[in-house]
Amino acid sequence: MRERQLIPIEVAGSAISSAVRLLLEDPDIAEVFGWLRPEPDARQWSGAEDTRLFAVAERGSGIIGLAALSDIRREERSARLSCAVAAPYRLSGAGHWAATEAIRRGVRLEDLRHVDAYVREGHDTARRVLESLGFRARQEGAPEGHLHLRLDLPNDSRGHFLMAPAAVPHRASYGRAASAALSA
C-alpha cells in the first residue's frame, strides 16, 4: 500500500502551491479543474466559494493530483466532487483513494450526505471508479457531453465504508507531512 495524503490547500506552503500550479498545466487535470486558478503572488486560490480543495500527495512522488468538494450546500448536505491524478498514478488506484478520502472529509467536516460528480461521456474508467464508490447515474443536470452521477449516503454512519473515520494527521503536522511528500 502506498502512503498517500490529502493536504488541504489552505494550510499548504509555497512548495505545494507551486506543484499545484504545475499540475494544472496537465491537460487532463486542467479539464477537471478548469474553474481553479491560482492568484498571482499569493497562496490563495480563486474558485467557487464553499470549496474544500486538496492536493493529493504520495510519499516519494510529491503532489500527484487534486481533489475538491465544491458548491458545498450545508442546508442540503450536498457538494460536487472533482478529482484528477496525473497519468502515471491512475492505474495504482490513486484516483479511487483520493475520491474516497475527499468524500470522507466532506462527511466529517461538512456532514455531507449527497455528492454529485460529472464525467465526460466515454471516460468509462472514471465512471467505473465512481460507481465502485456507490455513485449512480442520474438523468437530469448533466452538462452536454457529460454523465451526472450521484452518491446518496445514509444518515446513520455506522458500518458504511465511506463514512468510517480515516486516520488524519494533526493540523500542525500537515506542514511536516507535506514536506515529506515532496521529498523524493
* Share above pLDDT 90 across residues of the chain, in percent, rounded to a whole number: 49
Domain spanning 4-182: which superfamily? Gcn5-related N-acetyltransferase (GNAT) (3.40.630.30)
pLDDT in tens, 103-152: 999 999 999 999 999 999 988 989 999 999 999 999 887 788 899 999 99
Does the pTM of the predicted model rise above 0.85? Answer: no
pLDDT in tens, 13-36: 788 888 888 888 999 898 888 777
Give the pLDDT band of residue 159 (cuts 50, 70, 90). Answer: low
What is the model's pLDDT at position 19?
A: 87
Mean pLDDT of 4-9: 92
Q: Is 39 helix (H, G, I), strand (E, B) or coil?
A: coil
> What angle do the packed helices 14-23 and 174-182 form, to 10 degrees?
50
Q: Which sequence spans correspond to the domains of the chain? A: 4-182
Contact status, residue 83 vs residue 102, Cβ threshold 8 Å: yes
Contact status, residue 63 vs residue 55, Cβ threshold 8 Å: yes
What is the model's pLDDT at position 34?
A: 78
Asked whether the predicted pLDDT for residue 86 surpasses 70, the reply is: yes
Which amino acid would we find at residue 149?
L
Degrees, nearest 5: CA angle 72-169-130: 45
Q: What is the rounded CA–CA span in Å between residue 161 and residue 138?
A: 22
What stretches of 24-141 show up as alpha helix (H) in DSSP?
27-32, 94-110, 124-132
